Amino acid sequence: EDQVTQSPEALRLQEGESSSLNCSYTVSGLRGLFWYRQDPGKGPEFLFTLYSAGEEKEKERLKATLTKKESFLHITAPKPEDSATYLCAVQARANNLFFGTGTRLTVIP
């Protein structure tokens, strides 16, 4: 059965304290893995697409990496404005997206 698990559920960081969020998955035939950012009461905003193991993408303080079993979203020297829920989604052969439950990140000034 296709499954996506994100950890931790919540993460509190001091401003400048780097860390990583995890997205582990089991799908039959991965077509792509996607990271989104969601602010409270808003719709998700697309961040990255990763297609194959070893691939990396960067945007400002965020860097996403992919292995055959999981993806990491690394946050370097986070700022309070990075506080949000980060969602991971995987796309299998059937094209539909499976979303994880998200990691709620709080960056304290």
Partner 1 sequence: DGGITQSPKYLFRKEGQNVTLSCEQNLNHDAMYWYRQDPGQGLRLIYYSQIVNDFQKGDIAEGYSVSREKKESFPLTVTSAQKNPTAFYLCASSGDSHTGELFFGEGSRLTVL
Instruction: Map residues 50-89 to x or -, x wherever contact with partner 1 holds by CB under 8 A.
Output: -------------------------------------x-x
Q: Where are the beta strands (DSSP E) in 8-109?
A: 10-14, 19-26, 32-38, 45-50, 56-59, 62-66, 70-75, 84-91, 97-99, 103-108
What is the distance between the alpha carbons of residues 84 and 66, in angstroms, rounded to a whole number?
A: 21
Tell me: does residue 46 bind partner 1 (CB under 8 A).
yes
101 near partner 1 (CB under 8 A):
yes
Alpha carbon 36 to its chain centroid, in Å, reads: 6
Of 25, 100, 103, 105, the one binding partner 1 (CB under 8 A) is 100
Which residues lie near partner 1 (CB under 8 A)? 4, 31-32, 34, 41-46, 49, 87, 89-91, 95-102
